[in-house]
């Protein structure tokens, strides 16, 4: 009788045990950005403390915190400052007294022991989900050995401002290439020292640019370009900001040369996304004050001339793709984006005589938007863009 009474309990226990031994996929629930930053900081910095083990004594280790990038543009978004500032606050708490956190621009690979870096991406929670979220992706690396200590990845519930960190009206780099996730292994064969030195020089160059110390920025960008990059998109960004720096210094000829270098590097990656700014609901270029020695009309002539000259001397064929911001009806935006691609194809014909035979156009509407916020202002200029893809000439009809 006792055994009979125990059988239902035993059966239920076995059922529960069977359930708990099944693999359960972790569910990533979006959190507010400040919470994600706090969790990220605690995880990465705790991993450093654990990595130090009992070998640490005396002088605190320096953790260099780099600017976060936006994955789709490879540029530094405004949210990067918010992320850095919150990381520093967490780093000042009692558990991390063995560490001193500094901006990467204010230290060096010789002084710092660890590098904390990351990016913001925009993607679905899983392959079956249509809704996209901004993700915080980061890692921390031992600078001396190049060993990755820890990673962190978390979706964020609110919309983030991923427009360029540059001053209002200064735009972003003229050509952008999506950056690689720092938590992924790079296919580029570089040494840890080369990779980190290039990042250090870029951090110092960006800092000098934001402080309007253009001679210092020019020197650091030129030096960064000489180093092999773990992430080729950052070579494009270095050329882009060197171009802008040279224009700030009034060195137009040198600026054109830098733009040519940017085109060649982007073409090598088959992703030439050019930030021609279009008027709202318009297929025409938007003319505005750039804060440089030339206005947008003159600047666009440089871009078109250098892109046209490059393809005149190559046998490559182009797919010119137009895009729009995420406002208005889908059909309307598809046509508008195609009209923008037509504008660029026509203007490119001034310098690329065979453009009609060696290029095709299409419009994506807002399908591949980068900012994706349903508004039309400076922050969504990155969506009102045209990009070029290299294609087989047999694909041109």
pLDDT per position as a tens digit, 321-376: 999 998 999 999 999 999 999 999 999 999 999 999 999 999 999 998 877 878 77
Residue-level length of the chain = 397
Model confidence pLDDT, tens digit, residues 120-144: 998 888 888 878 899 999 999 999 8
Q: What is the CATH number of the domain that holds 229?
A: 1.25.40
Residues 199 and 87 in one domain: no
Q: Which domain holds residue 364?
A: 270-397
Judge whether 12 lies within some domain.
no
Residue carrying the six token digits 């294609």:
391
Look at residue 349 and tell me if it is in a domain. yes
| 396, 289: one domain | yes
d(CA 229, CA 245): 20
What pLDDT score was predicted for residue 386? Answer: 87
pLDDT of residue 6: 45
User: For tokens 């802008």, what's the residue?
Assistant: 244
Q: Indicate whether 138 belongs to any domain.
A: yes
Pair 393, 282 in one domain: yes
What CATH number does residue 321 fall under? 3.30.1330.60
Answer with the one of 226, 250, 265 that is the final residue of a domain: 265
Do 390 and 276 touch, CB atoms closer than 8 A? no
Indicate whether 289 and 354 sit together in one domain. yes
Overall domain count for the chain: 3
User: Do 37 and 131 reside in the same domain of the chain?
Assistant: yes
- pLDDT for residue 293: 47
Question: Does residue 6 sit within a domain?
Answer: no
Residue 379 lies in a domain: yes
pTM of the model: 0.78
User: Looking at the domain assignment, is residue 214 inside a domain?
Assistant: yes
Q: Are residues 287 and 328 in the same domain?
A: yes
Q: Any idea what the CATH number is for the domain that residue 97 is in?
A: 3.40.50
Which of 119, 136, 165 corresponds to the end of one domain? 165
State the pLDDT at residue 164. Answer: 77
Residue 3 within a domain: no
CB 86 within 8 A of CB 41: yes
Judgement on whether residues 191 and 160 belong to the same structural domain of the protein: no
State whether 300 and 396 are in the same domain: yes
Q: Is residue 368 part of a domain?
A: yes
Residues 147 and 227 in one domain: no
CB atoms within 10 A of CB 181: 19
Tell me, yes or no, whether 274 and 331 share the same domain. Answer: yes
Structural domain ending residue among the three candidates 165, 194, 219: 165
Q: How far apart are CA 173 and CA 298, in angstroms?
A: 16
Q: What is the pLDDT along the chain (397 residues), one digit of tens a residue?
A: 444 444 444 444 444 444 443 333 334 689 999 999 999 999 999 999 999 875 555 678 999 999 998 887 778 888 999 999 999 999 999 889 889 999 999 999 999 999 999 999 988 888 888 788 999 999 999 998 888 999 999 999 988 888 777 665 565 667 766 666 555 554 444 456 677 888 899 999 999 998 999 999 999 999 999 887 657 778 888 998 999 899 889 999 999 999 999 898 888 877 777 778 788 888 988 776 655 445 677 888 889 999 999 998 888 899 999 999 989 999 999 999 999 999 999 999 999 999 999 999 999 999 988 778 787 777 777 788 888 888 888 988 7
Q: Are residues 133 and 188 in the same domain?
A: no
């Amino acid at each position: 009788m006792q055994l009979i009474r125990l059988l239902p309990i035993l059966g239920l226990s076995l059922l529960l045990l069977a359930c708990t031994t099944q693999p359960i996929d972790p569910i990533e629930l979006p959190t507010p950005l400040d919470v994600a930053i706090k969790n990220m900081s605690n995880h990465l910095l705790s991993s450093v403390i654990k990595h130090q083990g009992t070998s640490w004594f005396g002088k605190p280790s320096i953790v260099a915190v780099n600017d976060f990038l936006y994955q789709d543009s490879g540029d530094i978004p405004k949210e990067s400052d918010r992320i850095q500032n919150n990381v520093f606050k967490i780093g000042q708490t009692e558990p991390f007294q063995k560490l001193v956190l500094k901006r990467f621009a204010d230290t060096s690979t010789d002084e710092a022991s660890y590098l904390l870096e990351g990016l913001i991406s925009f993607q679905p929670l899983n392959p079956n989900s249509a809704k996209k979220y901004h993700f915080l992706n980061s890692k921390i690396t031992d600078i001396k050995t190049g060993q990755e200590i820890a990673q962190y990845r978390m979706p964020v519930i609110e919309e983030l401002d991923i427009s360029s960190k540059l001053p209002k009206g200064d735009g972003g780099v003229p050509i952008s290439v999506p950056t690689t996730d720092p938590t992924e292994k790079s296919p580029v064969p570089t040494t840890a020292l080369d990779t980190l030195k290039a990042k250090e020089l870029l951090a110092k160059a960006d800092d000098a640019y934001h402080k309007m110390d253009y001679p210092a920025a020019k020197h650091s960008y030129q030096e960064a370009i000489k180093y092999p990059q773990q992430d080729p998109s950052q070579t494009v960004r270095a050329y882009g900001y060197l171009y802008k720096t040279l224009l700030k210094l009034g060195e137009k000829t040198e600026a054109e040369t830098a733009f040519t270098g940017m085109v060649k590097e982007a073409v090598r990656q088959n992703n030439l996304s050019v930030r021609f700014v279009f008027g709202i609901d318009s297929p025409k270029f938007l003319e505005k004050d750039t804060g440089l020695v030339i206005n947008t009309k003159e600047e666009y002539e440089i871009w078109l001339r250098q892109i046209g000259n490059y393809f005149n001397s190559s046998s490559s064929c182009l797919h010119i793709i137009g895009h729009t911001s995420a406002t208005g009806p889908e059909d309307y935006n598809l046509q508008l984006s195609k009209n923008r691609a037509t504008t660029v194809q026509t203007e490119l014909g001034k310098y690329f005589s065979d453009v009609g035979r060696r290029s095709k156009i299409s419009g994506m509407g807002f399908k591949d938007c980068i900012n994706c916020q349903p508004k039309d202002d400076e922050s969504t200029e990155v969506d009102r863009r045209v990009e070029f893809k290299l294609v087989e000439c047999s694909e041109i009809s």
